[in-house]
Amino acid sequence: MKNILLLTDFSENAWNAIFMATKLHTDLECKFYLLNTYEPKTQNVAGFKSSSRAGVVYKSLSEASQAELAKAKEYLDTNHKNSKHSFEVLSVAGDLVETIEQLVSRYDLDAIVMGTKGSTAAKEIFMGSNAVKVLKKVKNCAILVVPEAFNFQKLQLVVFPTEYAHFYPKNVLCPLLQLFRQWKPQINVFHVAQEFKLSELQQANKEVLKKRFGDYPTSFHRVEIRTTVAEAIRQFTEEQKADMIVLTNHSHGFFEGLTQEPVVKKVSFRTQVPLLVLPDFDG
């Protein structure tokens, strides 16, 4: 049984992510937790002279959150006909990231799924994105970020960018391999770099990756960085008409050192293709 957290603010992009999550895991036994977090705006709380007034605001937000979650669960229970799936709702007062960090261990989560608004050039909006905050802070759980305009049908082609600098333990790739067993996609391993000569360690890691993906059609590609790593990944993904990009959370450390850019953040924000970020590890 997989335990999957679905983040929702009841927007269209949140619903789109929920629909992808249920479709992506069609053949797997899953318990889905619909999470809505709420906090009153700072300016609305700062002026309160009594805790009772603040309590009224929190109660109002809590009631609205629980009512919307109840409607969402009713819709899914009525319209999502899959005996392998069940749904539970969680309404929590507090910070989104802090709440997720607590829930990962409490519910033994396998994955977190959230929608994102997609691309924008405005830095302040980019930095304010909940998806970016979650990717930056939550390192011990797989995270799937779904762009609002993406209409998921099948997992036919996956792009796997790597620098081959890390060993991939079986347990790290487990959530990915579960999906591969269900969908049997084409896997395009994508080496983006300024130098393609592999060290002995990199070559060994590449061979391990070949072994891990050995049951599925896999091809290996390399593209020289012309602008940024994130842009190279985005362009390659579009050219290949991929259905998903997979990164490991440790990968962005190497890429940042190479090009001084936070790859996970930029890819998650600018891609029009879902991004699966696997947990951090000491490989």
d(CA 35, CA 32): 9
Of 202, 205, 224, the C-alpha closest to 213 is: 205
What are the structural domain ranges in the chain? 2-147, 157-278
* N- to C-terminal Cα separation, the chain: 26
Dihedral over Cα of 151, 2, 172, 175: its sign: negative
Average of per-residue pLDDT values in the chain: 84
Q: Could you tell me the pLDDT band of residue 255, with boundaries at 50, 70 and 90? A: very low
pLDDT for the residue numbered 85: 98
Q: Evaluate whether 163 touches 254 at the Cβ level (below 8 Å).
A: yes
In this prediction, residue 234 carries a pLDDT of 85
How many CB atoms sit inside 10 A of residue 44's CB?
12
For the CA atoms of 129, 133, 138, 142, the dihedral, rounded to the nearest 10 degrees, stands at: 20
Q: In terms of Cα–Cα distance, which of 229, 147, 232, 155 is closest to 187?
A: 155
The residue among 201 and 258 whose pLDDT is bigger is 201
Q: What is the CATH number of domain 157-278?
A: 3.40.50.620
Residue-wise pLDDT for 113-129, tens only, equals 999 874 444 333 333 36
Cβ neighbours, 10 Å, residue 58: 14
Helices (H), 29-117: 42-46, 51-79, 96-106
Residue 4's CB: how many other CB atoms inside 10 A? 24
Strands 142-147 and 275-278 turn out to be antiparallel
* 6-50 pLDDT, tens digit each: 999 999 989 999 999 999 999 999 999 999 999 876 545 555 555
Q: How far apart are CA 249 and CA 141, in angstroms?
A: 10
Per-residue pLDDT, 83: 96
CA atoms of 49 and 72, how far apart (whole Å): 36
36-40, 193-197, 237-241, range with the lowest pLDDT: 193-197
Domain 2-147 and domain 157-278 have a common topology: yes
Question: How confident is the model over 203-234, as pLDDT tens digits?
Answer: 999 999 999 999 999 999 988 777 777 788 88
**pLDDT value at position 127?**
34
CATH 3.40.50.620 matches 2-147: yes
